Amino acid sequence: MKATFSDLWDTGTEILVWDGSEFERPTSIKELSKAENVVIGEKIEGTRLYNVLIDDTLKVVIPRKVCHPSGGGSMLILEVY
Protein backbone atom coordinates (compact mmCIF):
# COMPACT_ATOMS: atom_id res chain seq x y z
CA MET A 1 0.00 0.00 0.00
CA LYS A 2 1.24 3.48 -0.86
CA ALA A 3 0.60 6.85 0.74
CA THR A 4 -0.55 9.70 -1.50
CA PHE A 5 -1.66 13.30 -1.04
CA SER A 6 -5.28 14.40 -1.23
CA ASP A 7 -7.55 17.26 -0.17
CA LEU A 8 -9.84 16.86 2.82
CA TRP A 9 -13.28 17.48 1.29
CA ASP A 10 -13.53 21.12 0.18
CA THR A 11 -11.55 22.54 3.09
CA GLY A 12 -8.27 23.18 1.29
CA THR A 13 -6.51 20.99 3.86
CA GLU A 14 -3.97 18.56 2.37
CA ILE A 15 -3.92 15.12 4.03
CA LEU A 16 -2.39 11.71 3.44
CA VAL A 17 -4.52 8.86 2.06
CA TRP A 18 -3.93 5.28 0.94
CA ASP A 19 -3.51 4.81 -2.83
CA GLY A 20 -5.57 7.91 -3.72
CA SER A 21 -8.65 6.63 -1.86
CA GLU A 22 -11.34 9.05 -0.80
CA PHE A 23 -12.13 7.02 2.33
CA GLU A 24 -9.01 5.07 3.38
CA ARG A 25 -6.34 7.04 5.18
CA PRO A 26 -3.54 6.47 7.70
CA THR A 27 -4.52 7.61 11.17
CA SER A 28 -1.11 7.61 12.87
CA ILE A 29 2.59 7.94 12.14
CA LYS A 30 3.03 4.29 13.12
CA GLU A 31 0.44 3.21 10.56
CA LEU A 32 1.99 5.49 7.91
CA SER A 33 5.41 3.91 8.47
CA LYS A 34 4.04 0.63 7.02
CA ALA A 35 3.59 2.20 3.56
CA GLU A 36 6.05 0.98 0.94
CA ASN A 37 6.84 4.48 -0.37
CA VAL A 38 7.33 6.31 2.96
CA VAL A 39 10.35 7.11 5.12
CA ILE A 40 9.54 8.71 8.48
CA GLY A 41 12.03 11.23 9.80
CA GLU A 42 12.45 12.20 13.40
CA LYS A 43 9.80 14.07 15.32
CA ILE A 44 10.53 17.81 15.42
CA GLU A 45 11.50 18.51 19.01
CA GLY A 46 8.87 20.23 21.14
CA THR A 47 6.08 19.68 18.59
CA ARG A 48 3.81 16.95 17.20
CA LEU A 49 5.32 17.48 13.71
CA TYR A 50 7.21 14.81 11.73
CA ASN A 51 9.36 15.07 8.61
CA VAL A 52 8.07 12.51 6.11
CA LEU A 53 9.53 11.50 2.74
CA ILE A 54 6.86 10.18 0.37
CA ASP A 55 8.32 9.02 -2.94
CA ASP A 56 10.60 11.99 -3.73
CA THR A 57 8.63 14.62 -1.80
CA LEU A 58 9.61 15.81 1.68
CA LYS A 59 6.68 17.11 3.74
CA VAL A 60 5.97 18.00 7.36
CA VAL A 61 3.01 16.06 8.79
CA ILE A 62 0.99 16.45 11.98
CA PRO A 63 -1.51 13.95 13.41
CA ARG A 64 -4.88 15.65 14.00
CA LYS A 65 -8.38 14.85 15.15
CA VAL A 66 -11.11 16.56 13.10
CA CYS A 67 -14.89 16.61 13.19
CA HIS A 68 -16.64 14.85 10.33
CA PRO A 69 -18.72 17.40 8.37
CA SER A 70 -21.83 15.20 8.46
CA GLY A 71 -21.83 15.47 12.23
CA GLY A 72 -21.02 11.77 12.49
CA GLY A 73 -18.29 12.20 15.08
CA SER A 74 -14.57 12.74 14.83
CA MET A 75 -11.79 11.10 12.85
CA LEU A 76 -8.02 10.93 12.96
CA ILE A 77 -6.01 12.22 9.99
CA LEU A 78 -2.43 13.06 9.08
CA GLU A 79 -2.41 16.65 7.85
CA VAL A 80 0.34 18.01 5.63
CA TYR A 81 1.53 21.08 7.50
Q: What does the pLDDT look like over 17-72, one tens digit per residue? A: 999 998 899 999 999 999 999 999 999 999 999 999 999 999 999 999 988 777 77
Instruction: List, in order, residues 6 or more apart from 27 with CB less than 8 Å away.
Output: 63, 75, 76, 77, 78
Q: Give residue limits of the domains in the chain.
A: 3-80
pLDDT of residue 59: 95
Whether this model's pTM surpasses 0.75: yes
CA dihedral of 51, 53, 59, 63, whole degrees rounded to 10: -60
pLDDT of residue 57: 95
- The pLDDT confidence band at residue 16, using thresholds 50, 70 and 90, is very high
Residue 75 reports pLDDT greater than 80: yes
Listed in sequence order, the DSSP H helices in 3-73 are: 29-32
